[in-house]
Amino acid sequence: MGETWSQMWDYLGSDAAWNGRNGLPSLLWAHLQLSFTALVIATILALPPAIVLGHVRRGALLAVSVVNIGRAVPSFAVIALLLPFSLRWGFGLGFWPTLVALVLLAVPPIFTNTYTGIRDVPDDAVEAAQGMGMQSGELVRKVEVPVALPLILTGLRVSAVQVVATATLGALVGYRCLGTPIVAGFTKSDKGPLLAAAILVALVALFTDGAFARAQRWLVPWRATRQRPHDNPIAEGQTQ
Amino acid sequence: MKRQLKVVVAIALALGLTAAACGGDDDDEGGGDETSERSGSTVNIGEQDFGESAILSQIYKQALEADGFKAETVGLGGFRPLLLAAFESGDVNFAPDYLAANLEELNGGAGEATGDADETLAKLEPRLEELGLVAFTPSDAVDTNAFVVTKETADDLGLETISDLAEKGEGLTLGAPQDCEENAFCLPGLKEAYGLDLSAGFTPLDTGVIPTSLEEGAIDVALLFSTDGRIADEDWVLLEDDKQMLAADNVLPIASQELADEYGEDLSALVDKVSAELTTDDLIEMNKRYDVDKEDAEDIAADWLADHNLD
Amino acid sequence: MIVAADEPLVRWDWVGDHLDDIRADAIEHVQLTVLAVGLGFVLAMGMALMARRWRWTYGPLAGFCAVVYAIPSLALFGILVPITGLGIVPAEIALVGYTLLILLRNNVAGFDGVSAPVLEAADGMGYEPWRRVLRIDLPLALPAIIAGLRIATVTTVGLVTVASLVGKGGFGNLINDGLGRDFSTPVVVGTVLSVALAIVFDLLFVLLERVATPWARKAPRIAPIDPGMPARIATSLGVRPEEVAVDG
């Protein structure tokens, strides 16, 4: 293990690590582009249906199934199965097949958390709002979504971390990202780049997690004084 | 509350015990009819993560078993460097490897290997000795890197050899595993021997998706094994290495010194006999059965041995 | 081509011929999952109890688990294998590592959810600390703990497939085989069975939850009621929070 560490420091000290197509900054940027795009698309796809279904309190079975299947599907299998279609339909290697797989990965936590959050808004709150004359649209916007916000943000947060970590798979189908040095490191004896890239991915994932946690505290300030070290345990936790 | 807790624990235990009980190891179905059982160490054959390695491992395994040896295959996953580590740890004491590739791995990619098998072997043997390993006689069957294009590309650009590629193919895209950038028999080799720099259009790909990418035109040139069964099947064109950049990657069984010493002639004679029967065409045929016809390595190996009266 | 014109998505005769292999993979998959979740649970429970006793330890412990969780499994294997070799050791190290964060968080959440008055009453009744944990804290924390186990198990089922890289992948072995030679049958079979196994485990946990905690409300909400809720609603309705009475 000690040798691997020194290999990493050697690598970080070298020119190759910072310049050019295979340099860490360039790989990092590509990695972030892919992750961010996947997250945005997943949010656009998952939020509206989840809010609607949660609001009408229907579709619990769908919510559960979606998240289960999403958790257990191996991402690389999805990418490899999609590849021929991606090529045939002109989307090429690398970015697009990986993007689809990442979106599939990101949707379940966002969907389930949003659905649960909206659905679990206490009935008395909904009734009180209705009593004040609110229609559905207003009710959703002004009561349900704000109340569900912690959970929605947790879903986004979990998704984001998963996506960042799993985007490394793009390297297997030709997308140059932080996964590239990791995959390359498998068959080399110099594990320096692998370790450096792995740590960088972990840092980005942790940073993303922290950023969302910060956003949660900022957007949902009335929770700031709570001591609880956890968020909602219900729909957390899935890795690639 | 106490009762519920007991039920919970009971279910958990039941699950755990079921998993453990069901876990009877899939014992390997004993090999063919052995003539007489030899006593001594089991031959543990290191098998790498691609079809040809699986087939070769099965061939040696079944041949050994037919002669009374105990033999097992040990999977090495996608980690080629692990082969040597596995010898060191004793998990493996035999492996069908490749002559030039093995030398280049041991000398850190110095490019010592040449197209001449004897010359390359002579350079390899001292290094193996240092590690407590010994090489058997190389087979005539060769599996080296292959630069392959589709028939359309070859016809369009008039490509038959790698020199042709150097002349007309500067802007083409190459799809190869990630290590191509440092592999002496890939990008650096092309540059040195042919003056061809394909690094601009180089796309690193997992070996499993390279054929599909070539087929769909996502890459112009693919790096495959020269014995890949799909080359003939898809009517692809294997560009000839006219300047002899590629080195002698003959199939080469290696073993630990202990194993070789333990069985001596009995082992080496048998292994050499099998290796002598193996041809490049055999490899291509067997790979085709594996990759295109989706047959099992075990069956393919059994058939080959039967054909050559080695079972 | 993985989905060639003449290659069906699933060759059923191949499936029939390879039932033994599939069965062996199924057993391996279940064993790896149960072992990982079991070990992970023991470790996470230990950490949770530690965090309960010494509050300040939660930060570092959760931080450590989060770091392990954030490392992509591909990289983790790449780093572990040269040290541990192949096989069950690196597979389980990675699998257990990935369960820790979710199990720790849920265990702690469960314990936190036990309301103070109950604990005070128990202490008042003369319960020694460890007996109290066993008979009061643990049973009341059970819903959250089981929820954590459920998620961790389903997640692990998915991750086991990645462990085919080190030769112990359960259904992942099938997927790996198919991917290596453009053969869709084992890929599809492996993926479907993997998902099916996850669903089976999930249903088992739903059953477990019902059996173990019959007093739990029907709604599957695990999070305890948020005392800040009235203030939040007030804000949404455009009323200033201070004007609304907030309970504890």
Q: Which subunits have 3 or more CB–CB pairs within 8 Å of chain C? A: A, B
Q: Which two tokens stand for residue B43?
A: 């031959």
Segment C45-72 shows an average pLDDT of 90
Q: How far is C125 from chain A (nearest CA, A)?
A: 27
Q: How high is the mean pLDDT of chain B? A: 85
Least confident segment among B279-293, C40-54, C159-173 = C159-173
pLDDT in tens, B238-249: 999 988 888 889
Could you give the ipTM of this predicted complex?
0.75
Question: Residues with Cβ < 8 Å from C143, sequence gap 6 or more?
Answer: C110, C209, C213, C216, C222
A80 in contact with chain B, both atoms CB, cutoff 8 A: yes
What pairs with residue B221 in β-bridges? Answer: B149, B174
Residue A149 has pLDDT above 90, yes or no: no
- Interface probe with A: pick from C73, C236, C244, most Cβ of A within 10 Å: C236
**Which residue of chain C has the CA closest to B48?**
C167
**Which residue of chain B has the CA closest to A20?**
B200
**Residue with more model confidence, B136 or A129:** B136
**Which residue of chain A has the CA closest to B81?**
A187
- Interface probe with C: pick from A75, A152, A186, A230, most Cβ of C within 10 Å: A230
Segment A193-214 shows an average pLDDT of 90
Residue B6 has pLDDT above 90, yes or no: no
Give the pLDDT score at A86.
86
Segment B197-202 shows an average pLDDT of 87
Give the pLDDT score at B17.
61
Contact C197 A72 (CB under 8 A): yes
Q: Which two tokens stand for residue B237?
A: 């064109």
Contact B85 C11 (CB under 8 A): no
- Give the type of residue at B284: I
Of C75, C161, C172, which has the smallest distance from its Cβ to A194's Cβ? C75
pLDDT in tens, B109-157: 777 888 888 999 999 999 999 999 999 999 999 999 999 999 999 999 8
Give me the phi and psi of B234, to 5 degrees please.
-95, 0
CATH of A2-223, picked from 2.40.50.140, 2.30.30.110, 1.10.3720.10, 1.10.287.3510, is 1.10.3720.10
**Which residue of chain A has the CA closest to C225?**
A122
DSSP B30: P
- Interface probe with C: pick from B8, B22, B73, B287, most Cβ of C within 10 Å: B8
Of C1, C14, C82, which has the smallest distance from its Cβ to B212's Cβ? C1
Q: How far is B289 from chain A (nearest CA, A)?
A: 22
Segment C47-74 shows an average pLDDT of 89
**Residue with more model confidence, C131 or A39:** A39
- Confidence band, pLDDT 50/70/90 cuts, at residue C189: very high
Give me the phi and psi of C63, to 5 degrees please.
-60, -45
Structural domains of chain B in order of their starting residue, each with its CATH number: 43-142+248-307 (3.40.190.10), 145-238 (3.40.190.120)
pLDDT in tens, C93-128: 999 999 998 899 888 888 887 878 888 888 888 888
Give the pLDDT score at B44.
93
Residue A31 has pLDDT above 90, yes or no: yes
Helix (H) or strand (E) holding B39: none
Q: How high is the mean pLDDT of chain A? A: 82
Question: Residues with Cβ < 8 Å from B262, sequence gap 6 or more?
Answer: B40, B41
- Confidence band, pLDDT 50/70/90 cuts, at residue A127: confident
Contact C237 A132 (CB under 8 A): yes
Q: Which two tokens stand for residue B76?
A: 């090495």
A170 neighbors B204 (Cβ within 8 angstroms): no
Please say whether the structural domain C21-216 has been given the CATH code 1.10.3720.10.
Answer: yes
Segment B185-213 shows an average pLDDT of 88
Alpha carbon of A236 to those of A111, A112, A193, B255: distances in Å?
A: 12, 10, 31, 49
Percent of chain C with pLDDT over 90: 30
Contact B22 C142 (CB under 8 A): no
Question: What residues of chain A lie within 8 A of the CB of B84, using their CB?
Answer: none
Residue C240 has pLDDT above 50, yes or no: no
Neighbours of A2 (CB within 10 A): 6
Question: What residues of chain A lie within 8 A of the CB of B217, using their CB?
Answer: 87
Residue A227 has pLDDT above 60, yes or no: no
- Confidence band, pLDDT 50/70/90 cuts, at residue B168: confident
Give the pLDDT score at A190.
81
- Confidence band, pLDDT 50/70/90 cuts, at residue C236: very low
Contact B8 C212 (CB under 8 A): yes
Question: Residues with Cβ < 8 Å from B154, sequence gap 6 or more?
Answer: B160, B237
CA dist., res. B79 & res. C78, Å (int): 9
- Interface probe with B: pick from C182, C188, C200, C211, most Cβ of B within 10 Å: C182
Q: Which subunits have 3 or more CB–CB pairs within 8 Å of chain A? A: B, C
Q: Cα B124 from chain centroid?
A: 18
Residue C219 has pLDDT above 80, yes or no: no
For chain C, the domains span: 21-216
Q: Which subunits have 3 or more CB–CB pairs within 8 Å of chain B? A: A, C
Neighbours of A192 (CB within 10 A): 23
Give the pLDDT score at B35.
53
Of A168, A233, A240, which has the smallest distance from its Cβ to C109's Cβ? A233
CA dist., res. A186 & res. C155, Å (int): 25
Give the pLDDT score at C110.
85
Give the pLDDT score at A1.
67
Percent of chain A with pLDDT over 70: 91
- Confidence band, pLDDT 50/70/90 cuts, at residue A139: confident
For chain A, the domains span: 2-223
Q: Which two tokens stand for residue B203?
A: 């796309």
Give the pLDDT score at B296.
93
